[in-house]
Amino acid sequence: MPILCQPAATAGDLIPAIGGSVRSADSLHVAAQMLETDPAETLVVIGPDTPASDALTFASTLRLVRPAVGVILARDHVDVTLLTHALRAGVREVVQVGDRAALAAACRRSDEVSRRLLGAASADSGRSSREGKVVTVFAAKGGCGKTTFALNLAVALASDPTRRVCVVDLDLSFGDVAISVQLDPARTIVDGLPMAGHLDDTGASSLLTNYRPNLEMLLAPVTPGDAEKIPPSLVGELLGVLRGIFDYVVVDTPAQFSEHVLTAMDASAHHVLLTTPDVPALKNLRITLDMLDLLSYPREIRSVVLNRADAKVGLSLDDVQRVVRWPIAAHIPSSREVPISINRGTPIALASPAHAVSQAISRFAQQRVVTRAVATQAGRAAPRPSGRRRS
């Protein structure tokens, strides 16, 4: 039953938007007492009569002792300064008094975040520790099907209900993850800026968009200019936190070696290098492999995937192997069902698990990602590449 911290005389304007049965608390002290006697409570709405400084102190303390409890501020006036301080304190959302629809939506989103956090805690209770693996999918040439492969790889990994999987859209300027699965990017990576430097599980979880019960998405910005605001350090911080929440974090990247991409590669346990059987793509793959060698990334964490492997374009598989000079870990066949699935907004691995494309990606996920991760966890055979590119 949500707690509303607002004097009873003025609480009536907020209660209908919160919905359901609401408990009123005249002060933050009373709200804290209610929380102490109710370990299942997950939402506190703080009304405008409480000073902002007191509300932020309350939220900051609560984040440490009860991270699954969401705090929402209702204010008469909302500005950038207040939003910045609120997010840093761990407040999930700030809404303006009188906007009942915004408050109701904020409460629903907070409940969803709390459920995810409690679900993660429940899953973690049966594990000795969680050390998720970051898998970066990269192609130095556009049009290779990188986003489609990354999404279907994530679906394949999440087919085991005991795994938690996250997709990170790191194509900050032109990310297609949201539109490919028909998600509304209400929260994106740019919303993590106020938390930079002190990001925690609660903050990272608040940025995610749920796609399926054990599959979440961290979406790319949608506003022009937002991509330039995101520093590589925030990417590294996010991936570090997400590794502690998820078993696998699949990163979809732009077709360039940016600082953001290299930060993701630093954090990765696996580099998936995608190509197609055409000369420009193969040439760029060869350059990519040489570049990764130059930057001293371990060779054992690489997998080359040939997409549209059976396309009749005048190059045989022997020709491809001769140009690439690297083992091909997976051959993904061509199929008109793939663009159809993209247009429908449902990854083919989800829409048609028995399809040849789905099966090829599923085999790659199991044999090259899961099996390798288990072997690495057991033997620590593959060293972490973090920092290797910096001299």
Is the distance from CB of 143 to CB of 112 less than 8 angstroms?
no
| Helix 52-65, helix 28-37: angle, nearest 10 | 20
Tokens standing for residue 262:
């290299």
Full set of structural domains in the chain with CATH: 3-124 (3.40.50.2300), 133-379 (3.40.50.300)
Per-residue pLDDT of the chain (391 residues; tens, 9 = 90+): 799 998 877 777 788 888 778 888 999 999 999 998 888 888 999 999 999 999 999 998 888 778 889 999 999 998 888 988 888 888 989 999 888 889 988 988 888 888 877 766 555 544 435 689 999 999 988 888 999 999 999 999 999 999 999 999 999 999 999 999 999 888 899 999 988 888 888 889 989 999 998 999 999 999 888 999 999 999 999 999 999 999 999 999 999 999 999 999 999 999 999 999 888 889 999 999 999 999 989 999 999 999 988 776 667 777 777 888 888 999 999 899 999 999 999 999 999 999 999 999 999 999 888 876 555 554 443 444 444 544 3
Q: Residue 251 — φ and ψ, nearest 5°?
A: -105, 120
What's the chain's length in residues?
391
**Rounded Cα–Cα distance for residues 98 and 117 (Å):** 29
**Rounded Cα–Cα distance for residues 127 and 162 (Å):** 11
Judged by phi (left if over 0) then psi (alpha if -120 to 50, else beta), residue 143 lies in left
**Rounded Cα–Cα distance for residues 173 and 222 (Å):** 8
| Helix 279-294, helix 317-324: angle, nearest 10 | 30
**What pTM value is reported for the model?**
0.68
Count Cα neighbours of 197 within 13 Å in the Cβ-side half-sphere.
4
**Rounded Cα–Cα distance for residues 154 and 365 (Å):** 9
Q: Position 186: which residue type?
A: A
